[in-house]
Chain A
Amino acid sequence: MELRFLVQLGIIGFTFFMLINASALLVLAERKIMGFMQQRYGPYLVGPHGLLQPLADIIKLLMKEELRPKGADKWLFTLAPVLSITAAFAAFAAVPWGAQTTFFGLLDDPVSLGVADINVGILVIFATTSMGVYGIVLAGWSSNSKYSLFGGLRASAQMISYELSYATALSAVILLAGSLSLREVVDGQAGTWFGFIPSWYVFLQPVGFIIYMIAGVAETNRAPFDFPEAEQELVAGYNTEYSSVRFALFPQAEYINMTTMSAVGADLYLGGWHGPFLPPEYGWIWFLLKIGAILFMYIWVRWTVPRYRYDQLMQFGWKWLFPAAVLNLIVTAALVLYFNA
């Protein structure tokens, strides 16, 4: 019993540690990939091939002076980044990242790889990520600056609009799997069709997957939907007035949100830790590869597609993405009803 408790504590600590590393590595990966796309090297001086650049960045940010504008709301200004990062970390708690395992016979009963196995896991992730918007909105309001206020306003409008399409795309997968538990959704994707096509939901839900990815980019405020911090119009948007560690928490929350979004996408559409060639104990390797692929796509899109206009964002979200998501849901529901009856 005690051993099991320790193992579970270890899994929680490991997940937390990996998330922090993921955000640091993503900063580096983004700069490296950006450099590659713009035909230059990117960070190269700190460590071999610039590998220690994130460490240098963190030290720099820790050493900086913390500033707070005179007219800022003291409490909310401090609360905002904390809210952002808390929601980002908490959302990953409901994401399973590996098959149940006994750690090669160490335990009597298998434990789940993941912080918590919740039977409404998908909804919990959705609820927690939707709390993250408060961090951005409050940061924008409490800074008492025009640019920040506009960033916050944009964030709230954008997230409300795209959360709807996002949730509707998720509902179609929930219908297919017949469960709200992320682990059961992943286990529903085990095996293959005709012996060679992996039975992942992405093949049943191509439209849903595309909607999920687009809405995911908008939800995490990434380019081409990075309106809350559009540099050319708003200086730095909602985090204009922030500095030092408080500032660092915002990008970190963004990168962790990206990781969560990719992990959920891998679990829901790409079969999670199921895949060919590898024995089930090493399923987490597949999971890492899938997350990596989706994250690369995130970065790829950012440096390829220019930012939209704000009215285009709203038009696209409400007039195209949401109707497509609803249509996808209705068609899926009808087909599930037809084939199950």
Chain B
Amino acid sequence: MPETLIFYVLSGLAIGASALVIGQPNPMYSVMMLIASFGALAGMYIQLDAPFIAVAQIIIYAGAIMVLFLFVVMLLNAAQEDAAEWDRSHPLRQPAIARFGGLLALLLVVQLAWALLRAGGLGGPVAGQVDAGVVSSVRELGRVLFTDYVFAFEATSILILVAMVGAVVLARREEGPTSSSKEGSGP
């Protein structure tokens, strides 16, 4: 029974923290809540006997990506979310846009319910598809990743590379006589 109890505590924590990410106005607290949510997810991975994925979750999401989030929040130094967002006259509050958002939310609920029902019918979402030993052993995980799932793996790498190149292009300052007042003329 303790395992079930831990599962419910962790899921409660994950859902509660996720709700608070969007449910309260201070962006700093949102970041902290997201970290808590990731921590709870990592705990669940450990319960699923996948310690490597749990640690990777913490290193990559909680340790690296959220530090960058925090960095941006601090750099903008926004103590409170923009009050305009809560204003009735805000463009996002227009009826057409609100209806579209409502439709998307409804679709998400239907999709979730469908997925959960289907998973219940099959007796577990991953049963029979992935060998349990693969998830718990780092060596096996690496082997499977570079053989059976190599296309998905490489496609993801290219996706990340594209994002990286895009960030560099966006952040690059146009060098030339017309731009940059501070750094003088370009090459």
Residues of A at under 8 Å CB distance from B?
73, 76, 118-120, 123-124, 126-127, 130-131, 133-134, 137-138, 140-142, 149, 152-153, 156-157, 159-160, 163, 167, 180
**CA separation between A123 and B58, bound complex, in Å?**
10
**CA separation between A134 and B68, bound complex, in Å?**
11
Q: How far is the CB of A222 from chain B (nearest CB, A)?
A: 19
> Interface with A: B69-77, B101-109, B155-163, B176-184, which one?
B69-77
**CA separation between A73 and B52, bound complex, in Å?**
35
Asked whether, in the complex, the Cβ of B63 is within 8 Å of the Cβ of A130, the reply is yes
- Of B62, B67, B74, B138, which one neighbours A149 at CB under 8 angstroms? B74
Contacts of A140 in B (CB 8 A): 74
Q: How far is the CB of A187 from chain B (nearest CB, A)?
A: 17
**Contact A130 B64, CB 8 Å, known A76-B28, A119-B51, A123-B55:** yes
Contacts of B64 in A (CB 8 A): 130, 160, 163
Asked whether, in the complex, the Cβ of B70 is within 8 Å of the Cβ of A180, the reply is no
| A-B complex: 9 closest residue pairs judged by Cβ atoms | A130-B63, A127-B58, A123-B55, A156-B71, A127-B59, A120-B51, A156-B67, A127-B55, A141-B74
Asked whether, in the complex, the Cβ of B67 is within 8 Å of the Cβ of A123, the reply is no
Contacts of A118 in B (CB 8 A): 51
List 11 additional A-B contacts (Cβ < 8 Å) besides A120-B51, A127-B58, A142-B28.
A120-B138, A127-B55, A130-B58, A130-B59, A137-B70, A138-B32, A153-B75, A156-B67, A156-B71, A160-B67, A163-B64
Is B35's CB within 8 Å of the partner chain A? yes
Among A118, A120, A163, the most chain B Cβ lie within 10 Å of the Cβ of A120
Question: Chain B: which residue is nearest A157 at the CB level?
Answer: B71
**Contact A152 B74, CB 8 Å, known A130-B63, A133-B67:** yes
Q: Interface residues of B: mostly helix, strand, loop or mixed? A: helix
Q: How far is the CB of A311 from chain B (nearest CB, A)?
A: 14
Per-residue CB contact flags for chain B residues 17-35 toward chain A (1 = under 8 Å, else 0) read 0000000000011001001
Contacts of A156 in B (CB 8 A): 67-68, 70-71, 74
Asked whether, in the complex, the Cβ of A131 is within 8 Å of the Cβ of B62, the reply is yes
Asked whether, in the complex, the Cβ of B74 is within 8 Å of the Cβ of A137, the reply is yes
Contacts of B138 in A (CB 8 A): 120, 180
Contacts of B97 in A (CB 8 A): none
Is B150's CB within 8 Å of the partner chain A? no
30 contacts between A and B (CB under 8 A): A76-B32, A118-B51, A120-B51, A123-B52, A123-B56, A124-B55, A126-B55, A127-B55, A127-B58, A127-B59, A127-B62, A127-B63, A130-B58, A130-B63, A130-B64, A131-B58, A133-B67, A134-B35, A134-B67, A134-B70, A137-B70, A138-B32, A141-B74, A142-B28, A149-B74, A149-B77, A153-B74, A153-B75, A156-B74, A159-B67
Residues of B at under 8 Å CB distance from A?
28-29, 32, 35, 51-52, 55-56, 58-59, 62-64, 67-68, 70-71, 74-75, 77, 138
Contacts of A167 in B (CB 8 A): 59
Question: Chain A: which residue is nearest B69 at the CB level?
Answer: A156
**CA separation between A308 and B62, bound complex, in Å?**
29
**CA separation between A206 and B57, bound complex, in Å?**
30
Q: How far is the CB of A40 from chain B (nearest CB, A)?
A: 40
**CA separation between A24 and B71, bound complex, in Å?**
32
Question: Chain A: which residue is nearest B53 at the CB level?
Answer: A120
Contacts of A142 in B (CB 8 A): 28
Question: Chain B: which residue is nearest A71 at the CB level?
Answer: B79
Q: How far is the CB of B72 from chain A (nearest CB, A)?
A: 10
**CA separation between A157 and B74, bound complex, in Å?**
12
Asked whether, in the complex, the Cβ of B67 is within 8 Å of the Cβ of A137, the reply is yes
Asked whether, in the complex, the Cβ of A131 is within 8 Å of the Cβ of B63, the reply is yes
**CA separation between A133 and B63, bound complex, in Å?**
8
Contacts of A76 in B (CB 8 A): 28-29, 32
**CA separation between A224 and B150, bound complex, in Å?**
43
Contacts of B59 in A (CB 8 A): 123, 126-127, 130, 167
